[in-house]
Structures are given as structure tokens and as C-alpha cells.
Amino acid sequence: MSKPIKVLIVDDSAVVRQVLTTIFSADPQLEVIGAAADPILAQEKMALEWPDVIVLDVEMPRMDGITFLKKIMAERPTRVLICSTLTENGAATTMQALAAGAVGYVTKPKLGLKTFLSDSAAELIRDVKQAALATPRDFGRVASPGVATARPVHSVPGLSMAESSNKIVAIGTSTGGTQALEILLTALPRVCAGIVIVQHMPEKFTALFAERLNGLCAIEVREARNGDRVSIGRALIAPGGMHMRLVRSGAFFAVEVFDGPPVNRHKPSVDVLFRSVATVSRDNAMGIIMTGMGDDGARGLREMHDAGAQTVAQDEASCVVFGMPKEAIRHGAVDRVVPLDRIASEVIGFRH
């Protein structure tokens, strides 16, 4: 039998510490090695025994969670799950945490917290187990949230801004995807093929994520709205809690944002997007599947591949979790497997 996953809970709420300890201790694959009210106390516990996964609150006395996270990632990259409120402020803080190297997040309500945590026990246990499979990385080299870095603006012959894109790049990603997308999109020139993206995220998070990327990138990045045109130099990110598919509207491509049941447990789902691209754009498309847990997107990418699209998967060495790309490769959906820092070149080269 494999060793249990060592979990450290860091939260200033005694209720949260108590409930999470009870939930995690009930699973034989998890071992709670400590629960601390703040990062200072957590550091004392970590000096004695280092955890496999840290469940970390962000608003705490003496040292906030983001500062603590950055300190951990600089000293000894560790799998960290951020525990934040499902509010706009909570979402903004979570974006900072993911950019700093957190492998995932758990959202919690402001009211009815104890009941919510108890009702979400199975999901919380699954989140910790998934986090334990991730490869922690220090993303400190990535630009700080909200700070746009000066980047050279390249032009691509034969293309101009504000034109409809007849080439479509569809990207799907999950765990580790916020960092990976930042690395990819900030490397793109101002003029490139139109991009549509599904990043597994809840409502409220995607708008802030898109806004953050828009401040860092040469291209335009925004949360998709129903009917948005897919244009050269624009990336549209599916809103959390909604599906997105590609449609043809006259002579150009657009996106349809719609509600519906989760697909592969996700909404938005990568498969929903990829399947629509396979149907509508066919061989005028490129599909890219990146770091993430599970198999969402694998079958949709195979449909794109069979329709004549070019298909690319992020390689295992550069993934936080080599789940979605691995499944796509297993399904025979992938033409090329490349490291994260070469995916931008694939996008730039996708033109005729």
C-alpha cells in the first residue's frame, strides 16, 4: 500500500480547521499532519515534517496566504491548494495565488461555511488527491498580477488587426493552465490567428483572469460574450459556469456562450469547444491541449484531428499535471507533443 498523502491545513478559522481535519482524516489515503491558525505556526510544523499538500487560506493574521505561498515556492516548491471565498475579491486573490504557483483552489461561501464543507467532503478529498499528483513549480519569473511587461510587438505578413480570423486556434486546459496560458499568450505577437480558450474555472474567476492577461499580452484577451467575433489578435476565454462553442456567422467565425449540463464534470468543457471547432472550422483549425487533470478534451481533439485540424499537446515535462494531454495522446488525437515554451511558435506558424 502506498504511503498516505500528508496534508497540512492553514486557516485562521477554528471551524474550518476542525471540519477539514475530520473530513481528511476519514480517508485512509490522507494523513493530516497538522492544522495551523496562521503561516507562522505552519512554518513551525513544517520544520518538523514537510507536507505533500497544503490547504491554505489567503486572509490570515501575521502573514497573508499569498506572501506565505511565494515564500514556500521560492524555498521548496510544494503542492498548495488555495482556499478562498467565492467572491470577486476572493477570485482576484486566487488569480495571484495561481500565478505564484498554487496548483489549485477550493472555493468556500461566506455564510453557512460548516455545512458547505461537510456537504463538499467528497469533492474536497478528491481535490487534495488530485493536487498530490501535480508537479509544483515556482512561477515567480512570470510577471506579477496587474503589471504589464514591455514586450516587442511583432507583425505577421498578410494579417492585420480587427479582421475576422479564418484560422482558429482552440486551446483547452485545466490544472496548471492559468500559468501555462500566461506563458503562451504573452509570447504571441500582436497579430496572430484568432484564439478560443476553455480553462476550467468557476464563475467570477474567468473575467478577472482574462483582464489580468489582457494587461500582460500584446494580443487582446477577454472573457467571451455570446456572439463575439473571433478576430485576428484576439483570444476569447469561455466564462466560468457556461459552455462555449464555435459557430459560423456569415463570412466569419463567432462564439456562442450557453448554459447546459456539465460535460466530463466541467462547465465550460473543452470537449464542447473542440467538437464545435471540428464541425465548423475543420482543417482551418489548430487544437492545443495543455496541462490538466482528467480527460476533458481528448475525444474532442480526436474529432478535430479526424476533421483535418492540426493538433498539439503539451509535453509531460512542462505540465503541472500530465492528465489531459496524456489522454489525448492515448486517443490518437495528437500530431505533435511539444514543451510549453514552444507552443507559441506553433501558434505563430499556423498561417498560410
Instruction: Give the three-class secondary structure for 125.
Output: helix
Q: Which of 52, 57, 296, 318 is catalytic?
A: 296
Phi, psi dihedral angles at 193 (to 5 degrees): -60, 150
Instruction: Give the three-class secondary structure for 214.
Output: helix
C-alpha cell at 16: 474550518
Active site residue 345: no
Q: In angstroms, rounded to a whole number, what is the distance separating the alpha carbons of residues 334 and 343?
A: 13
- For residue 98, the surrounding DSSP H or E stretch is helix 88-100
Instruction: Please report, for the chain, how many H helices and E strands are present, in that order.
Output: 12, 14
Q: In angstroms, rounded to a whole number, what is the distance separating the alpha carbons of residues 147 and 76?
A: 25
Q: What is the 3-state secondary structure (H, E, C) of 30-88?
A: EEEEEEECCHHHHHHHHHHCCCCEEEEECCCCCCCHHHHHHHHHHHCCCEEEEEEECCH
Active site residue 174: yes
Q: Name, in order, each residue with C-beta under 8 angstroms of 68's C-beta and a sequence gap of 6 or more.
A: 10, 39, 42, 56
Contact yes or no for 24/125 (Cβ under 8 A): yes
Q: Which of 174, 231, 281, 318 is catalytic?
A: 174
Q: What is the 3-state secondary structure (H, E, C) of 72-89?
A: HHHHCCCEEEEEEECCHH
Q: Which of 200, 243, 266, 305 is catalytic?
A: 200
The total number of residues shown for the chain amounts to 352
Active site residue 127: no
C-alpha cell at 197: 480558450
Residues annotated as catalytic (active site), given as ranges: 174, 200, 296
